[in-house]
Amino acid sequence: MDLSSKIQNVKFENLFLNASGIHCQTKEELDDLMNNSYSGGMVTKSATSNHRFGNPLPRYHSLPSGSINSMGLPNEGFDFYLDYVTRTEQKKPIILSVAGMSKEEDLELLHQIQDSDYQGLTELNLSCPNVIGKPQMAYDFQGSDIMLNEIFKFFKKPLGIKLPPYFDLVHFDKIASILNQYPLSHVNTINSIGNGMWVDIESEKVVLKPKGGFGGIGGAMALPTALANVRALRQRLNSSIDIIGTGGVTTGRDAFAHILCGANMVSIGTQVYEEGLGAFERITSELKEIMNSKGYHSLDDFRGKLKTIE
C-alpha cells in the first residue's frame, strides 16, 4: 500500500500535511511535526517580516462540526522560519509559508527566500481572512495577476499559492486562467471560509473577540466547499500545477474524497488541532482500509477519477 505523493519533484512518504497555522508556529510544535511519523510533510505558520502576537483572545473557538478563528497572523517572524527550514535536519519535506501584511512585504519576503540558500518549497498565502483591514488578495483577480507577474520576474524557486475558497464557477474560471499563466509548483486550496459568525445562545454573545466575532470557518463543515474547490481547480489548472487539498478532513473517507477530486496531497487543520497529532495515524489507517477494500494500491489508482452521473 503506497501512500506516497509528490509536489513537483519533491517526494513525500505519505500524502498528509498539517494545514498551515496548525501545530506549526513555535520550534516545539515544528519539531513535534518533524518527528511525527504519520505525516509525510509539514507546512510552517505563515510568516510576516516581524514577530507578531496576533489578534486579542479569544481568537479560536471549537464548533459542533468545525472551528472558527481570527488568529491575526501570530508568528515568530520570517527569520525564525527561514532559519528553521534551512538549518533543521529534514526528516520530511517542509513547505515554508509566507504572508506579508502588504504586497511590498510579500515581495520583500520572496526576495529574501530567492537570495537565501533555501532550496525547498515555498507557499505564498494570498488568503488570510483575519488581518484587520487587509483584504484576501486572492479575491482581487487583477491584483493577484499583477502581483504574480512581478514575483515571477525574480522568483525562480518552487512557489505555490494558498487560495481562499471560491463559490462561483466563473470565479473558478477567472482564478485558474490567471494561475495558468505562471510556473507555479502548486496551489493549496482551501484556506478557511472567511468571516463566518458563531453565536453563543446563553450569553447572546459572539465567541471571538477580534473583528466583532467574525472569523474563518474550518473543519468538517468546510468539506463540501473544499472538495468543490479541489475539483474545480483540478479541472481547470494546467497538469503541471499540483494541488494540496485542505479543508474539512476528519476521516480517511474525507481524504479519499479529496484525492478523488484531484488532490496530490491532503492537509489537515482543525482535526489535528482538536485531536492532536494522533489524527495523522488514525486518518492514514482509515485511508488504507478504504483503498484496501477497493483494491487500490497507490493514490494514482484513483486520483482525480471522480465520476459524474451520466
Ligand X SMILES: O=C(O)c1[nH]c(=O)[nH]c(=O)c1I
Binding site for ligand X (CB under 6 A): 21, 46, 69-73, 99, 125, 127-128, 130, 191-192, 216
Sequence-distant (6+) residues with CB within 8 A of 106 are 98, 99, 100, 124, 147, 151
Least distance between ligand X and beta carbon 117 (Å): 26
Instruction: Identify the CA nearest to 264 among candidates 106, 24, 93, 129.
Output: 93
Torsion of CA 68, 70, 76, 78, to 10 degrees: 100
Least distance between ligand X and beta carbon 3 (Å): 26
Nearer to ligand X, 43 or 299 (CB): 43
Query: What whole-number distance in Å separates Cα of residue 75 and Cα of residue 67?
Result: 20
| All cell numbers assigned to 14 | 505519505
Sequence-distant (6+) residues with CB within 8 A of 39 are 14, 16, 17, 18, 33, 92, 277, 280
Identify whether the C-beta of residue 236 lies closer than 8 Å to the C-beta of residue 173.
Answer: yes
Q: Which residues are identified as catalytic? A: 128
Nearer to ligand X, 125 or 284 (CB): 125
**Residues in a beta bridge with 84:** none
Say how many CA atoms lie within 13 Å of 249 toward its Cβ.
34
Nearer to ligand X, 245 or 304 (CB): 245
Nearer to ligand X, 7 or 217 (CB): 217
Least distance between ligand X and beta carbon 132 (Å): 10
Instruction: Identify the CA nearest to 120 among candidates 26, 22, 183, 43.
Output: 43
Nearer to ligand X, 72 or 245 (CB): 72
